[in-house]
Amino acid sequence: MTTELLACSLIRDIPDFPQKGIIFKDITPVLQNPTAFAEVIDRLCSFAETVSPDIIIGIESRGFILGAPIALKLGKGFIPVRKIGKLPHKTVKCEYALEYGTSAVEMHSDAIMPGQRVLIIDDLLATGGTSAASITLVEELGGVVAGIAFMIELEFLKGRSVLAGYEVESLIKF
């Protein structure tokens, strides 16, 4: 585990959530602590600046919590990637595998302009399925994935391998 961030000491394990056998990494205590939350946003912004994105994507739902303040701080727009049926306008969709099942995500079909550099943000890298699906959506619309950033990476699930060829940053590794 990375130890230089205050956030490391605040992340709590919730056993058997969302189903038996899964240990959920709860970032709520990090969000409740303004110093730790600011530290996470500042570190993710530092990475973002190295990849020069034009726009920020946040993956539902905790990616919204991290991605929106990053976009605001960098003076960039924000795009939500959501679960099926949550966006009101015409969408593009991609299905993917989770560590405990399957799902799909959507993005508005007019969210990204061809050639636009995109930074994808989420709270946790596990198997990489949600991020890979988000990459597919970005590229389907002609965008360029500038980078992908996470607060937490579960290294034992090897999700980074699914994202090979992309610039990936994670602040805390378990």
Q: Name the residues annotated as catalytic.
A: 62, 99
Q: Which residues of 114-152 are buried (b: 16+ CB within 10 A; e: fewer)?
A: eebbbbbbbbbbbbbbbbbbbbbbbeebebebbbbbbbb
- CA proximity to 41, closest of 166, 171, 174, 173: 171
Q: What is the token pair recorded at 92?
A: 């593009």
- CA proximity to 1, closest of 122, 140, 152, 136: 152
